[in-house]
Structure 1
Amino acid sequence: MKRRAAMDSHHEQRQSLKIYVKMMKTVTLDVNHTDTVDQIKSKLSAIEGIDKSEQEIFFAGMHLKNEDKLADYSIMTNSSVDLYVTDGVQISVKIPSVGKTIKLNMRKSNSIADVKAEIEQEEGILVNKQILMYAGRQLEDNHMLSQCDLRNDQTLHVLVCPNDEQILTRMQSGVGVALTDSQMLQDQHVKNNDTFLLQQNVQFFVKSWEGKTLTMVLKTSDTGKDIMDRAAERLLIKESLYYLCHGGRVLSPGDTLRMHNVESNSTIYICLRNSGMVEPKTKK
């Protein structure tokens, strides 16, 4: 009896079924009780060319989960299930400036501008400060995700534009005093032949010997020491063991970004001393 029951159970598990899938048209699939919903989606994809990520299947009002089997929902032969085709896509958004990656659920019909709006809502980065990059190219705001060939789990990179605010500083007794935009020059005690220094923020990348990349926003008057201090905090390194290099020249602790013509989105390298590499000489 036990053997007969086991044979009947095995026969029931492998019992062939025929179900009907309702779309704009009805598709007939030959399936088994033990087939998973994901396997059903694969069969539909092979027949109709609909990507599995765009398929949502329902039976008797229930949303069928990919890992579940047809038997879990008591789907019998000649049952009808409903297929809804969506354009949903989940993308990863990497933000190097904060060392963070977020997930966004979007639609392929959404534009790049829509993605930027979601990033602003999630992370507070203003839309007009974002540059979205994918596969080495910048994405235009009016392009749809479908035009960019973005699919599930692919990654966008967000470059945060540096603050374009310019700071005008008056040199007073060797000390720079920032001028206020809303006040007149005479109210800020500006005199004839006073010297002004124009400071501007710039965003750049700092790449370590291990391949890690940091995004920094500093003033053009900031120095190599300022860069190394920030890098030391985030990478937990000893400054005495490393040096900075930009454009093939050493960026010494007292050198400013302006002296080395560090421009927006350029890269400064952290190099390990005595690593077997020839340390470039500082420019005299």
Structure 2
Amino acid sequence: MKRGAMGQEQPPHYKIYVKMVKEVALDVKCTDTVDQIKSKIGSIEGIDKNHQALFFGGNHLENNNRLADYNITTNSSVDLYVTDGMQISVSIPSVGKIIKLNLKKSQSVADVKAEIEQKGGIPLDEQILMCGCQQLEDNKVLSQCGLSNGQPLHVLVRPTDKLRISVSVDVERTVNLDVKSWYTVADVKLMIETLEGLPARSQILMRTQPGGAETLKDTDTLQNQLIRNNDTLTLYQNIQFFVKTYEGRTLTMSMKTCDTVDEVMKKVEERSLAKAGVYYLHYRGRALCPGDTLHKHKVVNNSTVEARLHNSHVSMAKQKETLGS
């Protein structure tokens, strides 16, 4: 052993390991008390020593006892339990929510924000967590912020300026875009035109919500539409195509690629006075199924779809032609 200034022998330093959420190595002496060990842990991890309970070999370590009293030697592992549980209320005025969180003073502010994201739906990087007039820094633990059980916090929401969104083009391929929250829907369409060659004027951007699909207006910003980072939009196109009827008429149709075959037939019936169920649509060698979208059958701009009579009606039509001649 080394001798101190008064000639007394000093015990050597050695390491022990304290098991927490992570393992922390401490430089200690066998004469250190449990209370001193707790102070070391508090200075490193920010955990108040009054909320620490240390155990070794199943025995609860008393504050005034030394490590040597428990035969804690070099490279020993001591278990730490944190007894700092508390409940706080978090108010999120922008969405009218108040949520209760069960926390520990040893948790960081970033940990609290992660729980608010999970329970309140506010992305972590958009939160400013306030206690009174004080903004809480992400790297601080709650014990360093002076929080007590039952103390209310509130969240200011600061939308992120930069966004990464995905656009599903005709449910066929996906385009990823880096945008700003203040971009308008029209701006996004111009970006897609540049990347994909699809004219902006023919594009229809939609967002699927629990109540159904919603078409986004060109003049609205992404922020006004509550579009967030990693959201996915769906893009369809306005197309003009032609329907050639059995009688030889050609009808010009302006529709969306997400419109169904049923919707096309309804327009044909309205404009040609055809009876429902008499015609079916035929395109590129195949009949178009009711309920399918124009996109599914790859109906494109300036293409021609035929409205054909069902077989039974073809025979009747031929008989009428014969009688007429």
Normalising by structure 2, we get a TM-score of 0.33
Structure with higher Rg: it is 2
Normalising by structure 1, we get a TM-score of 0.38
- Larger RCO of the pair (alpha carbons < 8 Å, separation 6+): 1
